[in-house]
Amino acid sequence: MYLGLDLGTSGVKAMLIDGDQKIIGSASGSLDVSRPHSGWSEQDPAHWIRATEEAVAGLKAKFPQQLAAVKGIGLSGQMHGATLLDADDKVLRPCILWNDTRSFREAAELDANPIFRKLTGNIVFPGFTAPKLAWVKNNEPEIFAKVAKVLLPKDYLRLWLTGEHISEMSDSAGTSWLDTGARKWSSELLAATDLSEDQMPKLVEGTEQAGMLRGELKSAWGIPGDVIVAGGAGDNAASACGMGTVAEGNAFVSLGTSGVLFAANASYLPKPESAVHAFCHALPKTWHQMGVILSATDALNWYSHIAGKSAAELAQELGDTLKAPTGVTFLPYLSGERTPHNDAVIRGSFIGLGHESSRVVLTQAVLEGVTFAIRDNLEALKSAGTSISRVTAIGGGSRSRYWLASIATALGVPVDIPADGDFGAAFGAARLGLIAATGADPVAVCSAPKTEETIDPVTSHGEAYEAAYARYRAAYPAIRTIGH
Tell me which DSSP letter residue 199 carries: G
Tell me which DSSP letter residue 69 carries: T
- How far is residue 46's CA from residue 34's CA, in Å, rounded to a whole number? 13
If one counts every other C-beta atom within 10 angstroms of the C-beta of residue 170, the result is 30
Closest to 171 (Cα-Cα) out of 95, 79, 242, 262:
79
Order of all β-strands in the sheet with 277-280: 277-280, 287-293, 259-265, 251-255, 391-394, 415-418, 451-455
Listing DSSP states for 201-232 in one string gives PEEE-TTSEEEE--HHHHHHHT--S--EEE--
- How far is residue 117's CA from residue 202's CA, in Å, rounded to a whole number? 23
213: left (phi over 0), alpha (psi -120 to 50) or beta: beta
Q: Do residues 31 and 11 make contact, with C-beta atoms less than 8 angstroms apart?
A: yes
Closest to 333 (Cα-Cα) out of 298, 382, 378:
298
* Exposed/middle/buried for residue 37 (C-beta within 10 Å: 0-12, 13-18, 19+): exposed
Scored b (16 or more CB within 10 A) or e, 266-281 reads: eebbbbbebbbbbbbb
Instruction: Give catalytic residues, as residue numbers.
Output: 235
Q: Do residues 250 and 451 make contact, with C-beta atoms less than 8 angstroms apart?
A: no
Sign of torsion, CA 324 327 332 333? positive
Strand partners, 178: 185
